[in-house]
Amino acid sequence: MKINHNISAIKSNIKLQRTNEALEKSVERLSSGYRINRAADDAAGMAISQKMKTQIRGLDQASRNASDGISVIQTAEGALNEVESMLQRMRELSVQAVNETNTAEDREAIQLEIDNLSAEVDRISEDTEFNTKKLLNGDSDRKTYSSSTKVNIVSTSDAVTAKSYKISVKKVGEKAKVTSPAAIADTVAPASGKITINGETVEIEKGTSLADVYTQLRDLGSNVNVDVYTTTDAAGKTQGTVQKDAYLNFESKEAGASRKVEVYCDNKDLADFLGIDTNSNNMKAVGKDAEIELTTTANKAQDGSEDAKTFSLAATAAADGNKVTISDKDGFEMVVMLEEDALTNAGGNAIASLDVELTVLDAGPMTLQIGANEEQTVSISIPKVNSETLGIENVNVGNTNDAGEAITLFDKAINQVSSVRAKLGAYENRLEHAISNLDTSNENLTEALSRIEDLDMAEEMSNYTQLNVLSQAGTSMLAQANQLPQNILSLLQ
């Protein structure tokens, strides 16, 4: 019998600790409903379950994508249904116009209705959209690319044809910038006064600390940034903290000739304290707009020419800072945005100009992501549908022969629209089957995930009950083991 080490108590305590740890994990599993609450619970299972979750969420989104695709198709098909209805009416009017019982006035009335219906076909073609995306005007998926990240196409009008455009950046927009002519003279305002920045005024009290004055100035200008520089260079490299002998710099937040900075102080002592001027004419600056030139390069594959040709476009460029709008009288409009460092090379040095190739591609098929992984897509093509593409742009029913020809034209147009509608219907059916398949895959994958992640509550409850009993028994046995050394006392009596 030994008293220095109670081996029975030590063993009982270790067993009790392990039981309680297992009991804690069991309680955690029961409270969460998950078999895996941390990677240590099942490292392999956790890795597999995360991959499954990725697929499940991807399948969920793919199903929603396909549903959105169906909505797009239904929107386009609904518009085409109305177009076809108008074509049927125009054909009916053409049949009526062939009849020689009509007078000239009757034919004029028939022609007027046909013209209005044709105009409505064009309006539907131009205005039918889904989520602001045009569907029937042939421009629903126009792509634009820039050879430089410093020059980007913001938007293009329908009159911008598919080809390459060369942008020569001559000047980027400049912000309005004013640097105080003198350095900050002290750390406490020597007098009270008002400081005005672009018409917004702040009152400075005598005795206000330099830091508080600086904060008030920074909070004042909604369209002006106020910074501090340790030299009058104010190029950005010497920017520092507000302190005596530093210089204040006032700069418009955006570039452009419409941006200005005008600083004024009504108290000379306060102005001298900040190094600024009481004369607003000495603390005034105006920004500058960007300047670019545009030429267009004909595409050999598009125009059939032997060599690509470059010519100047008869367009004007109106700039607002670094956003330049190029337009002409024929409806051409291209909006280009320049980065502030467009005329800076990789080494940070200024360059005189920058030539950038901008490429505009015609509309292509709409791509729908209908799978959880890359390249699991389907493309749907919605052609341009208007009076021109349908061949009814200048239909005339002024006489019997023309009216008879109009019937044939409307027959072709109706067949053309019917063909497009049939194709859209096939797309819709395909997407419905895709959604059904996605939902089935999602269901099966979720079931597999459940087998890995979810807890069998009945089994775990049995395990919990067993561990709870063991914990109570272990506690009792530990108490008994702790009493064993007491028996040695009987030998000492």
pLDDT digits (tens, 9 = 90+) for 18-45: 888 888 888 888 888 888 888 888 889 8
> Is residue 290 helix, strand or coil?
coil
Is the confidence at residue 71, as pLDDT, over 90?
yes
Cα(263)–Cα(280) distance, integer angstroms:
6
Cα dihedral 188, 193, 197, 201, rounded to 10, equals 120
Neighbours of 58 (CB within 10 A): 17
What's the pTM?
A: 0.51
Q: Which of 164-178, 287-301, 453-467 has the lowest mean pLDDT?
A: 287-301
pLDDT digits (tens, 9 = 90+) for 381-431: 888 898 988 889 888 898 888 899 899 999 999 999 999 999 999 999 999
43-51: Cβ within 8 A, 24+ apart: 45/452, 45/453, 48/452, 49/449, 49/452, 49/453
Q: In the predicted model, what is the mean pLDDT of residues 454-469?
A: 85
Q: What tokens were used for 286?
A: 């105006």
H helix runs in 224-347, sequence order:
268-274, 300-303
Q: Which residue has the higher pLDDT, 153 or 208?
A: 208
Q: In the predicted model, what is the mean pLDDT of residues 216-241?
A: 69
Q: What is the pLDDT of residue 305?
A: 41
- Most confidently modeled range among 79-93, 144-158, 278-292, 452-466: 79-93
Q: Which residue has the higher pLDDT, 238 or 448?
A: 448
Is the confidence at residue 442, as pLDDT, over 50?
yes
The residue behind tokens 């920058």 is: 354
pLDDT digits (tens, 9 = 90+) for 237-257: 456 678 888 888 888 888 888
> Is residue 162 helix, strand or coil?
coil
N residues, the chain = 493
Is the confidence at residue 298, as pLDDT, over 60?
no
Q: What is the pLDDT of residue 445?
A: 93
- How does DSSP classify residue 199? T
- Most confidently modeled range among 60-74, 204-218, 316-330, 388-402: 60-74
Which is nearest to 110 in space by CA: 388, 391, 398?
398
Q: What residues contact 81, with CB distance under 8 A and at least 6 apart?
A: 421
Q: What tokens were used for 217?
A: 């100035």
Phi and psi at residue 97, to the nearest 5°: -70, -25
Q: What is the pLDDT of residue 312?
A: 44
pLDDT-derived band at 296 (thresholds 50, 70, 90) equals: low
Cα(92)–Cα(79) distance, integer angstroms:
20
Is the confidence at residue 311, as pLDDT, over 50?
no
Q: In the predicted model, what is the mean pLDDT of residues 366-386?
A: 88
To 5 degrees, how large is the angle CA 281–CA 285–CA 287?
160
Q: Which residue has the higher pLDDT, 5 or 239?
A: 5
Q: What is the pLDDT of residue 90?
A: 96
pLDDT-derived band at 308 (thresholds 50, 70, 90) equals: very low
Q: Which residue has the higher pLDDT, 186 or 144?
A: 186
Neighbours of 114 (CB within 10 A): 24
Cα(184)–Cα(217) distance, integer angstroms:
14
Q: Rg of the chain over CA atoms, in angstroms?
A: 39
Domains of the chain and CATH, by start: 49-135+382-448 (1.20.1330.10), 143-171+290-362 (no CATH), 175-286 (2.60.40)
Phi and psi at residue 439, to the nearest 5°: -65, -40
What are the Cα distances from residue 317, in Å, to 338, 340, 351, 459? 13, 18, 21, 75
Q: What tokens were used for 114?
A: 């046909």
Element (H, E) at 167: strand 164-171
pLDDT-derived band at 1 (thresholds 50, 70, 90) equals: low
Q: In the predicted model, what is the mean pLDDT of residues 125-138?
A: 88
Q: Which of 174-183, 339-348, 411-420 has the lowest mean pLDDT?
A: 339-348
Contact 380, 47 (CB under 8 A): no
**Over the chain, what is the mean pLDDT?**
82
Start-to-end CA span in the chain (Å): 16
Is the confidence at residue 306, as pLDDT, over 50?
no
To 5 degrees, how large is the angle CA 353–CA 354–CA 356?
155
